[in-house]
């Protein structure tokens, strides 16, 4: 059974940058620009993120958005 998910991403700013806010992860110049991540499974999304040198450190699971280190791949 597929359940919809949302994505929040972040990274440590590279000097001399400092972030006060974040933008859309798929915006031009961002890590998932032109990556069709909508509809991907967790496993597919993790692979796409890893291909760009990023990792997933936690997941927030509905309905209470509790944090988990792992979730099922589907």
Tens digits of residue pLDDT in 65-74: 778 878 877 6
Of the candidates 32, 58, 33, the one whose C-alpha atom is nearest the C-alpha of residue 45 is 32
- 55: helix, coil or strand? coil
Is the pTM of the predicted complex or chain greater than 0.85?
A: no
Sequence ranges of the domains in the chain: 33-74
Residue-level pLDDT at 70: 80
Higher pLDDT among residues 64 and 52, named by residue:
52
**Is the Cβ–Cβ distance between 35 and 26 less than 8 Å?**
yes
């Amino acid at each position: 059974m597929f359940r919809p998910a949302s994505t929040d991403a972040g990274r440590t700013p590279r000097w001399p940058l400092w972030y006060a806010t974040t933008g859309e992860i798929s915006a031009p110049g961002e890590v998932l620009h032109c990556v069709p991540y909508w509809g991907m499974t967790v496993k597919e999304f993790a692979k796409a993120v890893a291909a760009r040198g990023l990792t997933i450190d936690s997941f927030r699971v509905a309905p209470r958005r509790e944090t988990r280190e792992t979730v099922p791949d589907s």
